[in-house]
Amino acid sequence: MATLQASTLWNSSSATAAAGGSTTRRKTINAALNFPKIHKTNLSLSLPILRTRRFMEEIEFGSGYTTKTSDPSEKKPADPLVVAKLYAILEAVADRAEMHSNVCEQRNNWNSLLLTSVNGLILAAATMAGISAAGPALPALKLSSTLLYLSATGMLVVMNKIQPSQLAEEQRNAARLFRNLHSQIQTTLSAGHPTNGDVSEAMQRVLALDKAYPLPLLGAMLEKFPAAVAPAVWWPDQPRRQPTQIRGTGNDWNGELEEDMREVIKVMKIKDREDYLRLGKKALKLNKALAISGPVLTGLAAVGASLAGPSASWAAAVVGVAAGALAAVVNTLQHGGQVGMVFEMYRSNAGFFKLVQDSIDSNIEEKDLQRRENGELFEMKVALKLGRSLSELKDLAAKSRSLQNNEEIDEFASKLF
């Protein structure tokens, strides 16, 4: 439009030039004054459109962000069958979490009720044994005391075998891990386009958790007194699926980050994981000693109670009363102090550090950078799991790197527990 107006003014000025020089000069000046005004108005209307279009192109193609296609119609929608499968797994995981929470509460009640019942039986039997030894011969008291001690012995054997406090801790951990898996599946569904790989991974993790923390007692219960203490393992041993690249051609991995992650693994293996395994061994030894001592003491008390009486020796009466009292103390220390739960807690903590180590190893050993998890995001996840900031994580790696061969770092990798 500006071109047409300018040409019209130029033609009119040319035609008038034949009539007189002054008129030509005046209209030529008018054209020169009007032309910039028209041109400026048209540019002011078109510049926002050009800027908006350029801004949208920068968002779509991005400076640093990778986009496979610029046409939104070419993006494949999520497979409805895959989404339906993930929702089915999500429902099963939610049900599992609720189930383990209920079983945890039930087995925690077992521990409290059995502890109170067994101690009540032992103290009642000790009282009867003392009365029968001090007073006249009462066969009923001797028989009652002996039967109570034998009943307490049988209940202690069963209680020490199943370890209710340890069972409750197992189910508590399982409920927490199933809730964590539930949140991760929800994130996968809300983040974008789930694939069959997501479905397979979720299925394997559910089955691995079922195997690591079984619900039934008979035939599937975990060994409460293992020969060797090993970290708990609740994740599947499978090849990593290809993660989504976030930005950058190197996926934010470099030599410095790899070296930092190796140093973090070294600290976790030397300090954190070994410390919890050492504490787990001590808790296991203590639990074994208490589990054997309780039934042995109640058995001795039953023998002493059966022999107690005015005509019998005082040694039998002392055994009947003192052994029963010691058995109550041992039972309270073992199950009231929940030594089995403490052992399971140490074992699970060691498993947590093994999981972090396996996660770091699986990324570092992958040669193709594009198949790794994004380096910046992965570093942040490791820092959060260890209760550290990014700067603290780097300081830990630098401190470990500066040590000599025979030196050992004086701090733990984790600040959480």
For 241-295, the DSSP string reads PPPPP-BSTTTT--HHHHHHHHHHHHHIIIIIIHHHHHHHHHHHHHHHHHHHHHH
Longest dimension (CA), the chain: 157
Name the residue ranges covered by the structural domains of the chain: 2-53, 108-163+251-401
Q: What does the block give as tokens for 288? A: 């074994």
Q: Please report where in the chains the tokens 């639990």 appear, as a residue.
A: 287
What distance in Å separates the CA atoms of residue 417 and residue 412, rounded to the nearest whole number?
9
With beta carbons less than 8 A apart as the criterion, state whether 114 and 159 touch: yes
d(CA 373, CA 351): 22
Residues 6 or more apart in contact with residue 14 via CB below 8 angstroms: none
Q: Which residue has the tokens 């089915």?
A: 88
**Per residue in 234-249, pLDDT tens?**
999 855 544 544 555 5
Q: Which residues of 80-93 are buried (b: 16+ CB within 10 A; e: fewer)?
A: eebbebbeebbeeb
Question: How high is the pLDDT of residue 208?
Answer: 95
Dig out the tokens for 43 from the structure. Answer: 């540019």
Between CA 152 and CA 154 the distance in angstroms is 5
In the prediction, which pLDDT does 23 show? 42
What's the average model confidence in pLDDT over 359-374? Answer: 88
Give the pTM. 0.76
pLDDT (0 to 100) of residue 78: 76
pLDDT digits (tens, 9 = 90+) for 168-226: 999 999 999 999 999 999 999 988 788 898 999 999 999 999 999 999 888 889 999 99
Give the CA count within 13 Å in the CB-facing half-sphere of 27. 18
Under 8 Å between Cβ of 304 and 142: no
pLDDT digits (tens, 9 = 90+) for 384-395: 999 999 999 999
Residue identified by tokens 């190893």 is 361
- Give the integer Cα–Cα distance in Å for 75 and 54: 22
Q: What is the mean pLDDT of the chain?
A: 81
Task: Say if CB 380 and CB 235 are below 8 A apart.
Answer: no
Handedness of CA 116, 121, 123, 124 (dihedral sign): positive
User: Residue 108 is encoded by which pair of tokens?
Assistant: 């925690």
pLDDT of residue 84: 94
* Cα radius of gyration (the chain): 39
DSSP string of 131-154, one letter each residue:
HHHHSS--HHHHHHHHHHHHHHHH
Q: Which of the pair, 316 or 339, is modelled with greater confidence?
A: 339
Angle at 345 between CA 331 and CA 205, to 5 degrees: 130
CB 333 within 8 A of CB 160: no
pLDDT band at residue 34 under the 50/70/90 scheme: very low
CA-CA distances (angstroms) from residue 130 to 136, 318, 325, 415?
A: 11, 8, 11, 53
DSSP letter string, 343-367: HHHHHHHHHHHHHHHHHHHHHHT--
Q: What was the pLDDT predicted at 341?
A: 96
Chain segment 272-313, per-residue pLDDT in tens: 999 999 999 999 999 999 999 999 999 999 998 888 766 656
What are the residues whose beta carbons fall under 8 Å from the beta carbon of 113, sequence distance 6 or more? Answer: none
pLDDT of 359 strictly over 80: yes
CB 316 within 8 A of CB 308: yes
Residue 220 is predicted with a pLDDT of 85
In order, the DSSP letters of 115-127 are: HHHHHHHHHHHHH
